[in-house]
Amino acid sequence: MVEHFAVRGGARLSGTVDVVGAKNSVLKLMAAALLAEGTTTITNCPEILDVPLMADVLRSLGCTVTVDGGTVSIDVPAEPGAQADYRSVSKLRASVCVLGPLVARCRRAVVPLPGGDAIGSRPLDMHASGLRKLGATTEIEHGRVVAHAEGLHGAQIWLDFPSVGATENILMAAVLAEGTTVIDNAAREPEIVDLCTMLQQMGAKIEGSGSSTLTVHGVTGLQPTEHRVIGDRIVGATWAFAAAMTRGEVTVRGVDPHHLDLVLDKLRSAGAHTDIAPGEFTVRMDGRPNAVDFVTLPYPGFATDLQPMAIALSAIADGTSMITENVFEARFRFVDEMVRLGADARTDGHHAVVRGVERLSSAPVWASDIRAGAGLVLAALCADGQTEVWDIEHIDRGYPRFVENLRALGADISRVSTDPAR
Ligand code: UD1
């Protein structure tokens, strides 16, 4: 069976939505469990496909993993395997984050190179050069990253760009290296802070969490822990954009509103009213949004993962918006699908110019990645007639209970299964 979403536009979203743990945090926390023998338990995990896929990667390394609703328990043996299974890794790009922990724990790692991605090339050069500075050798052999280290030692590492994945891999190797490592121009995303918090609970010595300089004093061993994943700011922001676009009123619970300071400020510039309280926020929009410009940058800049939502909002805004993409070059590919929905949008290099229209018009569209898919659904909520959104397995990878949450807020959306043979 093939599934798509059928979305009928026009509903005003209202109500409260609960957001669970962040996809981009939980997968790294699961990898970090490899750093200590014994059972690490992670709670508030989102029930999305990537979590069982990561569990398979860890099982291929000798761990016993149970996934029970939002709780994942990982029992790590004294000597985990160093070779991740190709089939598991190929389905999950984020599985490359086992590289750092494996080098630290086993002094050896063989991780198949994850495949390409619809949002642009995702090289691993900064991951590899950071691990080399810590004393590892890294080679690409037969489509796999092969890393060896006699022993890891502290180093001064300057990243060319504050890459989330490279910061995480280097950090997870440095916590067990001998001596002090300084990672400069480190990523500052809340998910990195979450990883630092869990590593600290395991006994790691890290200073500067949340800043662009991370100082890590290596220790000889770590202990397993129990940790609750931070709320998913990208999911929370998606609901905030949905409220603003449908002229609705939505309260989002379970996300730290400070992780969305810039996003909520942009929505206020677009005309929304926001109420902020500890662990929750409300967005209300009474009229048509005003056009605002967006520039994606590493945190605390506007997240590239929210760029499709920014395009969707701009598509129905009053005026012209310029959206600049600075992180993933191919992320504008989905704009053609927005044009199919009647958006007046054109791209040139890493800029998109969107002239807002009063109303979009329904059409069949295809999701190319998680966030592009969510952006298309938001646009469909503001389109005349019924839009079919296809390739929704991408959306399911990032948004637990996507349809259920939208329906509870009053959206007219359903999941439809069809038999392609008929
Ligand atoms: C993570 C997130 C993704 C988000 C992105 C940026 C996960 C699972 N995914 O991806 O949702 O969009 O952060 O916030 O957490 N780069 C290099 N060389 C490297 C590493 C990265 O050139 O060695 C480049 C990439 O091509 C990209 C930029 O750096 O242009 C940022 O990538 P990075 O921050 O590493 O993103 P990911 O960790 O892959």
Cα 190 off chain centre by: 11
- Please state, in angstroms and rounded to a whole number, the distance separating the CA atoms of residues 161 and 364: 37
Residue nearest to atom 33 of ligand 1 (CA): 163
Confirm if 296 and 302 have CB atoms less than 8 A apart: yes
DSSP 230: P
Is pLDDT at 115 greater than 70 in this prediction? no
Query: Which pLDDT belongs to residue 31?
Result: 98
The reply to whether ligand 1 has any atom less than 6 angstroms from the CB of 94 is yes
Q: For the ranges 140-144, 146-150, 196-200, which has the lowest average pLDDT?
A: 140-144
Q: For the ranges 141-150, 153-162, 306-315, which has the lowest average pLDDT?
A: 141-150
Is pLDDT at 365 greater than 70 in this prediction? yes
Determine if residue 342 is left, alpha or beta; phi over 0 gives left, psi from -120 to 50 gives alpha, anything else beta: left
Cis peptide leading into residue 308 (ω within 30°): no
Query: Which pLDDT belongs to residue 224?
Result: 98
Is pLDDT at 135 greater than 80 in this prediction? yes
| pLDDT classification of 119: cutoffs 50, 70, 90 | low
| Domains of the chain (ranges, CATH numbers) | 2-17+232-418 (3.65.10.10), 25-228 (3.65.10.10)
Mutate which of 23, 113, 163, 307 for ligand 1 pocket (most atoms within 8 A of beta carbon): 163
Is pLDDT at 116 greater than 60 in this prediction? no
Confirm if 378 and 312 have CB atoms less than 8 A apart: yes
Tell me phi and psi for residue 243, to 5 degrees.
-65, -45
Confirm if 205 and 221 have CB atoms less than 8 A apart: no
Known binder of ligand: residue 7? no
Ligand 1 atom with the smallest distance to the CA of 161 is: 29
Query: Which pLDDT belongs to residue 87?
Result: 81
Beta bridge pairs of residue 42 = 72, 227
The reply to whether ligand 1 has any atom less than 6 angstroms from the CB of 161 is yes
Going from the C-alpha of 152 to that of each of 128, 145, 170, the distances in angstroms are 14, 18, 11
232 given a catalytic annotation: no
- Please state, in angstroms and rounded to a whole number, the distance separating the CA atoms of residues 130 and 219: 18
Neighbours of 161 (CB within 10 A): 11
| pLDDT classification of 118: cutoffs 50, 70, 90 | low
DSSP annotation string for 376-421: HHHHHTTEESEEEEE-THHHHHH-TTHHHHHHHTT-EEEEEEE-TT
pLDDT tens for 171-227 read 999 999 999 999 999 999 999 999 999 999 999 999 999 999 999 999 999 999 999
Is pLDDT at 120 greater than 90 in this prediction? no
The reply to whether ligand 1 has any atom less than 6 angstroms from the CB of 121 is yes
pLDDT tens for 25-80 read 999 999 999 999 999 999 999 999 899 999 999 999 999 999 999 999 999 999 99
Can you tell me the mean pLDDT for 125-135? 95
- Please state, in angstroms and rounded to a whole number, the distance separating the CA atoms of residues 373 and 365: 9
DSSP annotation string for 2-44: EEEEEEE--PPPEEEEE--B-HHHHHHHHHHGGGSSEEEEEES
Residue in the block written with tokens 């760029």: 307
Residue nearest to atom 36 of ligand 1 (CA): 164
**Stated pTM of the model:** 0.97
The residue from 50, 117, 318, 369 that is catalytic is 117
| pLDDT classification of 117: cutoffs 50, 70, 90 | low
Query: Which pLDDT belongs to residue 56?
Result: 94
Counting runs of H as helices and runs of E as strands, what totals does the chain give?
A: 14, 25
The reply to whether ligand 1 has any atom less than 6 angstroms from the CB of 167 is no
Tell me phi and psi for residue 242, to 5 degrees.
-60, -40
In the chain the first and final C-alpha atoms are separated, in Å, by: 10
The H-assigned helical ranges of 270-412 are: 307-315, 335-340, 370-380, 393-398, 402-408
The reply to whether ligand 1 has any atom less than 6 angstroms from the CB of 325 is no
Query: Which pLDDT belongs to residue 112?
Result: 87
Ligand 1 atom with the smallest distance to the CA of 187 is: 34
The H-assigned helical ranges of 92-189 are: 99-106, 125-133, 164-174
- Please state, in angstroms and rounded to a whole number, the distance separating the CA atoms of residues 131 and 203: 21
Can you tell me the mean pLDDT for 371-387? 97
Confirm if 311 and 335 have CB atoms less than 8 A apart: yes
Determine if residue 246 is left, alpha or beta; phi over 0 gives left, psi from -120 to 50 gives alpha, anything else beta: alpha
Confirm if 273 and 284 have CB atoms less than 8 A apart: yes
* Residue 209 identity: S
Look at residues 168, 118, 69, 187 and name the one whose alpha carbon lies nearest to residue 373: 118
Confirm if 390 and 413 have CB atoms less than 8 A apart: no
Is pLDDT at 383 greater than 80 in this prediction? yes
325 CA to centre of ligand 1 in angstroms? 13
- Please state, in angstroms and rounded to a whole number, the distance separating the CA atoms of residues 64 and 237: 34
Confirm if 366 and 391 have CB atoms less than 8 A apart: yes
Query: Mean pLDDT for the chain?
Result: 95
Angle at 276 between CA 296 and CA 326, to 5 degrees: 0
pLDDT tens for 236-294 read 999 999 999 999 999 999 999 999 999 999 999 999 999 999 999 999 999 999 999 99
The reply to whether ligand 1 has any atom less than 6 angstroms from the CB of 145 is no
Question: For residue 254, with 0-12 CB atoms within 10 Å meaning exposed, 13-18 middle and 19 or more buried, which class applies?
Answer: middle
Query: Which pLDDT belongs to residue 228?
Result: 98
Determine if residue 364 is left, alpha or beta; phi over 0 gives left, psi from -120 to 50 gives alpha, anything else beta: beta
